[in-house]
């Protein structure tokens, strides 16, 4: 695995909230990322010069061609003076996102471990007994109790009854995704009682609609946390392609949300579906294949 380093000026965020907003309302606000880095990542870096120098080459072009030909790309990016973000590009499922790597001012580094490497939908781990929604990639920081994962699954027709996605409401998209995430062998209605959606809204980014939502999930009490009022605080972004929902979810314990939540919001706001390459494997392809 090779790491490339960039510092695109177009990813510098203002002091205001890091989330774009299509209308005034309370809750999660997601900021649009329009940096060409997500599209430049699909090209040899030596050909990205015309993109107003948003991507700075730190190495020879031949070496970078090797880096960008891999299925997953990692790159350290400074979003602002406070936090460094790392970029992941998954060519198999054609998406990208940023995740927090370091807070230099506080001499704090996240301890991420890639618990699930990107893989095709047919071989990915199911999130529920019916195996409709599956985790295609995941990374965890066990020290700080953080999880960032990407899941793919078909829409739940109980909530998304129309084939016209422009008519979908953000809350219905959130309910569709969350209803298929529980690993408990219970009904959909019972699964929904585990989750509480705090806010949901939609935003168009570069011609694609993304549905953003923030929610709480009640967790079972443990010896270290005997209180039954234990939650994971999550934010997520969902987009549709080829009849499937692609979702990036980021979460931590509710007691850590105030300090770590803003970084997870940055990650969710950066989630993008990318133009498919030759490596792209649509979810419906070879459903029998497990490797």
CA–CA dist 66, 87 (Å, integer): 17
Boundaries of domain holding 235: 113-184+193-274
| Per-residue pLDDT at 246 | 98
Report whether pLDDT(105) > 80: yes
CA–CA dist 252, 100 (Å, integer): 13
State the pLDDT confidence band at 126, using cuts at 50, 70 and 90: confident
Is the residue at 85 inside a domain?
no
Is the residue at 50 inside a domain?
no
Report whether pLDDT(116) > 60: yes
CA–CA dist 182, 30 (Å, integer): 26
- Residue 39's φ and ψ, nearest 5 degrees, are -90, -30
Q: Which of 122, 163, 115, 175 is nearest to 141 (CA)?
A: 115
Q: Of residues 77 and 266, which shows the higher confidence score?
A: 266
| Per-residue pLDDT at 288 | 61
| Per-residue pLDDT at 82 | 83
Is the residue at 80 inside a domain?
no
Domain count, the chain: 1
State the pLDDT confidence band at 132, using cuts at 50, 70 and 90: confident
State the pLDDT confidence band at 4, using cuts at 50, 70 and 90: very low
Q: What is the mean pLDDT of the chain?
A: 74
At 146-203, the pLDDT tens digits run 999 999 999 999 999 998 998 999 999 999 999 887 655 444 444 444 678 999 999 9
At 195-253, the pLDDT tens digits run 789 999 999 998 899 999 999 987 654 455 555 567 899 999 999 999 999 999 999 99
Q: What is the DSSP letter of 111?
A: -
CATH of the domain at 200: 3.40.1000.10
Terminal-residue alpha carbon distance, the chain: 21
Q: Kindly report the CA angle at 199 between 202 and 268, in degrees rounded to 5?
A: 60
Please report, for residues 1, 24, 101, 102, 239, the alpha-carbon distance to residue 109 in angstroms, rounded to integers and kept in the order given: 20, 34, 6, 4, 30
Is the residue at 98 inside a domain?
no
Tokens of 208: 């694609």
Give kind and range of the element (H or E) at residue 65.
helix 61-68
Is the residue at 152 inside a domain?
yes
| Per-residue pLDDT at 90 | 97
| Per-residue pLDDT at 286 | 73
Is the residue at 78 inside a domain?
no
Q: Of residues 185 and 285, which shows the higher confidence score?
A: 285
Q: Of residues 291 and 188, which shows the higher confidence score?
A: 291
Our separate counts of H helices and E strands in the chain read 5, 14
Q: What is the DSSP letter of 121?
A: G
CA–CA dist 202, 75 (Å, integer): 28
This prediction has a pTM of 0.71
Tokens of 137: 């990639």
Q: What percent of the chain has pLDDT over 70?
A: 62
Is the residue at 168 inside a domain?
yes
CA–CA dist 291, 288 (Å, integer): 9
Is the residue at 154 inside a domain?
yes
| Per-residue pLDDT at 125 | 80
């Amino acid at each position: 695995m090779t790491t490339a380093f960039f510092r695109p000026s177009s990813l510098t965020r203002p002091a205001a909230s890091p989330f774009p907003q299509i209308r005034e309302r309370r809750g999660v606000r997601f900021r649009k990322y329009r940096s060409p880095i997500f599209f430049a990542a699909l090209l040899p870096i030596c050909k990205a010069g015309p993109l107003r120098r948003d991507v700075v080459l730190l190495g020879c072009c031949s070496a970078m061609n090797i880096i960008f030909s891999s299925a997953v790309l990692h790159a350290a990016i400074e979003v602002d003076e406070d936090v460094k973000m790392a970029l992941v590009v998954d060519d198999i499922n054609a998406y990208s996102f940023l995740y927090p790597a370091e807070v230099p001012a506080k001499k704090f580094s996240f301890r991420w471990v890639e618990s699930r490497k990107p893989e095709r939908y047919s071989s990915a781990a199911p999130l529920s007994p019916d195996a409709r929604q599956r985790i295609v990639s995941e990374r965890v920081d066990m020290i700080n109790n953080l999880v960032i994962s990407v899941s793919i699954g078909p829409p739940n027709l109980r909530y998304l009854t129309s084939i016209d996605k422009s008519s979908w409401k953000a809350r219905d998209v959130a309910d569709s995704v969350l209803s298929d995430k529980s690993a408990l062998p219970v009904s959909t209605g019972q699964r929904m009682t585990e989750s509480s959606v705090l806010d949901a809204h939609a935003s168009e980014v570069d011609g694609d609609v993304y549905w953003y939502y923030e929610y709480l999930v009640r967790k079972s009490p443990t010896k270290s946390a005997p209180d039954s009022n234990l939650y994971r605080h999550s934010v997520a972004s969902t987009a549709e392609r080829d009849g499937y929902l692609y979702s990036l979810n980021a979460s931590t314990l509710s007691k850590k949300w105030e300090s770590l939540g803003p970084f997870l919001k940055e990650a969710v706001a950066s989630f993008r579906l990318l133009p498919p390459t030759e490596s792209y494997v649509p979810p419906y392809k070879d459903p029998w294949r497990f490797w």
